[in-house]
Amino acid sequence: MLTISIAMDEKKGIGYKGRLPWHLKEELQLFKSNTMGKNILMGQTTYDGLPRKLKGRHTIVCSIDPEYKVNDPDAEVTYDLKKFLDEHEFSDDEVIVCGGASIYRQAYPFCSKALISFVKGEYETDTRFDIFDLNDWNIDKEVEYEDFIYRELSRKRNDKAIFVTGCCGYIGSHTVVELLNDNYDVVGLDNFSNSKPEVLNKITELTGKKVKFYEGNMLDRELLEKIFDENNIGAVIDFAAYKAVGDSVKKPVEYYTNNVSSVLTLLAVMKEKNVKSIVFSSSATVYGSENPVPFKEDMPIGGTTNPYGTSKVFVEQILKDLCFADNTFNACVLRYFNPIGAHESGLIGENPNGVPANLLPFIDKVAMGKLEKLNIFGDDYPTPDGTGVRDYIHVVDLAKVHIKGLEKIAHKNGSYYVYNIGTGVGYSVLDIVKAYEKVNDIKIPYVIAPRRPGDIATCYADSSKANRELNWHTTKDLEDMCRDCYRFVVNCSKEQ
Ligand code: UFG
């Protein structure tokens, strides 16, 4: 059940200078549709501010002012909300409470799952019932008011920390920045197997906040227990894994140990410490090579051709089994397509050591003159220009969806969700090279090389489920991705 609340005081209530969003037609419409079939308890000022009554609803207007009169014969009025609620045995999800702080205070013990649904679409997420009091704030302008709502909603809902494994890695670090900016406290773990400690300083530089950091391995059960004992953790985002496809073929035991056994250790500790929510980094690679594009979440998974991919299939199955066995456990599996790009500040990004296996880091090295030319693996695929087609997604868009994933499973009691995380658009290797050259005004020399074993011709997502259910949409395009990649590597080279 969706539960959002908002601050208003009696003087600056909903009717005050038309400053609240539901004065706008579409918000009112949204409110109406989201409150369908519910009883509505409404504060006096709220009621006055609404463009007249909500037809067909049982609206109960609550006022603390005994002189207050409602000019609406259909509206029921109560001057003692507590008494009223005592007399009516509403169940939690029958009632919508909306209005000022005073009505919340009175309604709170009775309607802990009340639905308050009036703010814009982006707030339409699962969140806890909270009380905000505008009197604590000195807010004058409309825009500040909306900022206030957003800030407070974020601040209030995030009182438990998020434990991020692999917090210094490419996707982990970008996600931590988004979490901190959204007022989550972050507890992080990394063993720097594919990241650098400096990332922690960059994160602080970007956000003005610190991660409570632990160095170590997720296989270290004692360390995990200590982390859970020392922190008030509400949920986990698990990034810690090896990810080089080619390497995984050579080192299956290391890959399965690091990517699967470590998750089992983590889940055992989560169970022991009663932390029941996890967002897991999975990959489009789980779709194997047999499914037709675009990939959809309900397609069969498996048929992977390397231990890296298979390790993701295994963990998805483990999480599914766990959620089935324990109906209080919540998992949100995110199947990433091809994350590229970097934070637009140029402070964090992907800069692997040695010869990169992935396309963009390779192009970056060519751009920086560290590698002579790009090898394009095959130009005879059944694609428009013969080169491989992938669904590239900006890492910041990707980072943001983790917060949506957390929100999706917050306060749930047993749930398992899987989402494709891509843009739904496929670009070829040549498209990428051209975009990179254009946006950065630089030449990327390339040659056509033989196909790379294990590659498929085309891979892109149907991400409509994530768009719809998580209210998440990508905002960055291919040019942003290529520009941000280059900015980051140029920055890195200045620092060296
Ligand atoms: N490519 C080249 N030259 C290179 C590197 C890549 O032509 O030097 C081509 C590949 O053949 C492919 C495309 O660029 O057509 C993208 O290749 P990447 O290695 O960047 O990415 P993949 O699609 O092979 O794999 C990536 C991740 C996996 C993940 C998968 C999900 O590396 O971890 O996306 O689709 F599982």
**454 near 426, Cβ under 8 Å?**
no
Separation between Cα atoms, residue 241 and residue 139, nearest integer Å: 46
| pLDDT band at 126; cut points 50, 70, 90 | very low
Instruction: Indicate if the pLDDT at residue 140 is higher than 60.
Output: no
> Between 281 and 138, whose confidence is greater?
281
pLDDT band at residue 133 using 50, 70 and 90 as cut-offs: very low
Shortest-distance Cα residue to atom 8 of ligand 1: 359
**In ligand 1, which atom is closest to the CA atom of 363?**
8
User: Taking a C-beta distance cutoff of 8 angstroms, is the pair 218, 260 a contact?
Assistant: no
List the structure tokens of 457. 């011709």
* 7 pLDDT more than 70: no
Among protein residues, the one whose CA lies closest to atom 32 of ligand 1: 358
3-state secondary structure of 238: strand
Residues 405, 447 contacting (CB under 8 angstroms): no
Range from 8-12, 216-220, 306-310, 344-348 carrying the lowest mean pLDDT: 8-12
Render pLDDT for 153-177 as a digit per residue (tens, 0 to 9). Answer: 444 455 789 999 999 999 999 999 9
Ligand 1 contact, 335 CB (< 6 A): no
Ligand 1 nearest atom to the CA of residue 336, by list position: 31
Residue 126 beta carbon below 6 angstroms from any ligand 1 atom = no
Cβ 337 under 6 angstroms from ligand 1: yes
Give SS3 for 484.
Answer: helix
| Residue 102 pLDDT | 54
Q: How far is CA 305 from CA 61, 216, 301, 310, in A?
A: 63, 30, 12, 7
Over the stretch 290-318, which tens digit does the pLDDT of each residue have? 999 999 999 999 999 899 999 999 999 99
What does the DSSP 8-state code read for residue 378?
A: -
Strand partners, 340: 394
Instruction: Report the DSSP pairing between strands 415-421 and 330-336.
Output: parallel
First to last CA, the chain: 51
**Residue identifier of the C-alpha nearest atom 15 of ligand 1:** 388
Place of tokens 């079939």: 37
CB within 8 Å of 27: residues ≥ 6 apart: 21, 118, 119, 120
Ligand 1 proximity of 429 Cβ (cutoff 6 Å):
yes
Confidence grade of residue 68 (pLDDT, cut at 50, 70, 90): confident
Return all residues near 283 (Cβ < 8 A) that are at least 6 apart.
Answer: 308, 309, 312, 335, 336
CA of 393 to the centre of ligand 1 (A): 13
The identity of residue 294, as a single letter, is P
Pocket test for ligand 1, best of 436, 452, 478, 485 (most atoms within 8 A of CB): 452
What pLDDT does residue 135 have?
Answer: 41
Token look-up 């997502």 returns 461
Catalytic residue (choose from 214, 287, 308, 336): 308
452 ligand 1 Cβ < 6 A = yes
Which atom of ligand 1 sits closest to the CA of residue 452?
A: 11
381 CA from centroid of ligand 1 (Å):
14
Q: How many CB atoms lie within 10 A of CB 67?
A: 6
- Which of 429, 430, 436, 444 for mutating ligand 1's site (highest number of atoms within 8 Å of CB)? 429
Pocket test residue of 170, 385, 390, 446 for ligand 1, highest count of atoms within 8 A of CB: 390
CB 112 within 8 A of CB 92: yes
Q: What letter does residue 23 receive in the DSSP assignment? A: G
pLDDT at 103 over 50: yes
Percent share of the chain, pLDDT over 70: 73
Tell me the domains of the chain and their CATH numbers. Answer: 16-157 (3.40.430), 161-495 (3.40.50.720)
Catalytic (active site) residue 308: yes
C-beta pairs of 87-93 under 8 Å, 24+ apart in sequence? 90/39, 92/1, 93/1, 93/38
Q: How far is CA 103 from CA 22, 49, 62, in A?
A: 18, 15, 7
Q: Which residue has the higher pLDDT, 386 or 36?
A: 386
**How far is the CA of 195 from the CAs of 77, 206, 215, 240, 393, in angstroms?**
61, 18, 12, 11, 21
